Amino acid sequence: MTTSIKLPRPAADFHVHVRDGDMMKLVVPTIKQGGVSVAYIMPNLVPPLTKVEDVLSYKSRLEAVDSSVTYAMSLYLSPAITPEVIHEAKKAGITGVKCYPAGVTTNSDHGVASYAPFYPTFAAMEEEDMILNLHGECPSAGHIHVLNAEEEFLPTLKDLHARFPKLRIILEHCTSAAAVQAVLECGPTVSATITAHHLFLIIDNWAGNAYNFCKPVAKLPADRQALLDAATSGNPKFFFGSDSAPHPISAKEKGKNASAGVFTQTHAIAYVAEAFGKLGKIDKLVDFVCNFGRDFYKVEERPSSFSVVLEKEEDTVPLLLGEGGSAVVPFKAGENLSWKVVITEA
Amino acid sequence: MTTSIKLPRPAADFHVHVRDGDMMKLVVPTIKQGGVSVAYIMPNLVPPLTKVEDVLSYKSRLEAVDSSVTYAMSLYLSPAITPEVIHEAKKAGITGVKCYPAGVTTNSDHGVASYAPFYPTFAAMEEEDMILNLHGECPSAGHIHVLNAEEEFLPTLKDLHARFPKLRIILEHCTSAAAVQAVLECGPTVSATITAHHLFLIIDNWAGNAYNFCKPVAKLPADRQALLDAATSGNPKFFFGSDSAPHPISAKEKGKNASAGVFTQTHAIAYVAEAFGKLGKIDKLVDFVCNFGRDFYKVEERPSSFSVVLEKEEDTVPLLLGEGGSAVVPFKAGENLSWKVVITEA
Task: Give the integer Cα–Cα distance in Å for A317 and A330.
Answer: 7
Q: In what order do the strands lie in the sheet with B4-6?
A: B4-6, B306-316, B336-345
Those residues whose C-beta lies under 8 Å from the C-beta of residue B162, and which sit 6 or more positions away, are: none
Task: Give the integer Cα–Cα distance in Å for A32 and B225.
Answer: 49
- Report CB contact under 8 Å: A253, B252: no
Closest CB to B210: pick one of A147, A202, A255: A255
Are the CB atoms for B216 and B175 separated by under 8 Å?
yes
Those residues whose C-beta lies under 8 Å from the C-beta of residue B57, and which sit 6 or more positions away, are: none
B132-167 pLDDT per residue, tens = 999 999 999 999 999 999 999 999 999 999 999 999
Task: Give the integer Cα–Cα distance in Å for A247 and A326.
Answer: 8
**Whose CA is closest to B234, among B283, B169, B190?**
B283
- Flag whether residue B258 sits within 8 Å of chain A, measured between CB atoms: yes
Are the CB atoms for A271 and A264 separated by under 8 Å?
yes
DSSP collapsed to 3 states, A67-97: CCCEEECEEECCCCCCHHHHHHHHHCCCCEE
- Flag whether residue B55 sits within 8 Å of chain A, measured between CB atoms: no
Three-state secondary-structure class, residue A324: helix
Categorise residue A309: left if φ over 0, alpha if ψ from -120 to 50, beta otherwise.
Answer: beta
Give the chain A residue whose CA is nearest to the CA of B249: A255
Q: How confident is the model at residue B60 (pLDDT cuts 50, 70, 90)?
A: very high
- Flag whether residue B114 sits within 8 Å of chain A, measured between CB atoms: no
Burial code (b: 16+ CB inside 10 Å, e: under 16) for B176-200 equals: bbbbbebbeebeebbbbbbbbbbbb
Q: Which pLDDT score, from 0 to 100, does residue B302 have?
A: 87
Burial code (b: 16+ CB inside 10 Å, e: under 16) for A97-112 equals: bbbbbeebbbbbebbb
Min Cα–Cα distance to chain A from B208, Å:
5
- Flag whether residue B257 sits within 8 Å of chain A, measured between CB atoms: yes
How many angstroms separate the Cα of A307 from the Cα of each of A34, A241, B31, B56, B131? 12, 20, 65, 69, 67
**Whose CA is closest to B174, among B140, B151, B143?**
B151
B202-235 pLDDT per residue, tens = 999 999 999 999 999 999 999 999 999 999 999 9
**DSSP letter (8 states) at residue A45:** -
Q: Which pLDDT score, from 0 to 100, does residue A23 have?
A: 97
Task: Give the integer Cα–Cα distance in Å for A4 and A312.
Answer: 6
Task: Give the integer Cα–Cα distance in Å for A47 and B180.
Answer: 47
> What residues of chain B lie within 8 A of the CB of A258, using their CB?
208-210
- Report CB contact under 8 Å: B258, A208: yes
- Flag whether residue A22 sits within 8 Å of chain B, measured between CB atoms: no
> What residues of chain A lie within 8 A of the CB of B256, using their CB?
208-211
Closest CB to A256: pick one of B140, B204, B211: B211
Sign of CA dihedral A77, A83, A88, A89: positive
Closest CB to A207: pick one of B217, B220, B254: B217
- Report CB contact under 8 Å: A210, B258: yes
CATH 3.20.20.140 fits B4-345, yes or no: yes
Task: Give the integer Cα–Cα distance in Å for A174 and A184.
Answer: 12
Cβ pairs A/B, distance under 8 A: 79
Q: Could you report how far apart the first and last alpha carbons of chain A are, in Å?
A: 27
- Flag whether residue B327 sits within 8 Å of chain A, measured between CB atoms: no
Across chain B, what does the average pLDDT equal? 96
Give the chain A residue whose CA is nearest to the CA of B211: A255
> What residues of chain B lie within 8 A of the CB of A143, using their CB?
221-222
- Flag whether residue A258 sits within 8 Å of chain B, measured between CB atoms: yes
- Report CB contact under 8 Å: B208, A257: yes
Average pLDDT (B268-284) is: 98
Please give the single-letter amino acid code of residue A74: S
Length in residues, chain B: 346
DSSP annotation string for B242-270 = --B----HHHHSSSS-PPP----GGGHHH
Task: Give the integer Cα–Cα distance in Å for B324 and B197.
Answer: 25
The residues spanned by each domain of chain A are 4-345
How many angstroms separate the Cα of A158 from the Cα of each of A147, A155, B109? 20, 5, 47
- Flag whether residue B200 sits within 8 Å of chain A, measured between CB atoms: no
B81-129 pLDDT per residue, tens = 999 999 999 999 999 999 999 877 777 777 788 899 999 999 999 999 9
**Whose CA is closest to A222, among A170, A178, A177?**
A177
- Flag whether residue A299 sits within 8 Å of chain B, measured between CB atoms: no
Q: Which pLDDT score, from 0 to 100, does residue A107 have?
A: 76
Q: pLDDT tens string for chain A (346 positions)? A: 889 999 999 999 999 999 999 999 999 999 999 999 999 999 999 999 999 999 999 999 999 999 999 999 999 999 999 999 999 999 999 999 999 998 777 777 777 888 999 999 999 999 999 999 999 999 999 999 999 999 999 999 999 999 999 999 999 999 999 999 999 999 999 999 999 999 999 999 999 999 999 999 999 999 999 999 999 999 999 999 999 999 999 999 988 999 999 999 999 999 999 999 999 999 999 999 999 999 999 989 989 999 999 999 999 999 999 998 789 999 999 999 999 999 999 8
Q: Which pLDDT score, from 0 to 100, does residue B119 have?
A: 97
Give the chain B residue whose CA is nearest to the CA of A216: B207
- Flag whether residue B142 sits within 8 Å of chain A, measured between CB atoms: yes
> What residues of chain A lie within 8 A of the CB of B260, using their CB?
208
Please give the angle made by the CA atoms of B124, B128 and B132, to the nearest 5 degrees. 70
Closest CB to A221: pick one of B145, B211, B259: B145
- Report CB contact under 8 Å: A255, B211: yes
**DSSP letter (8 states) at residue B112:** B
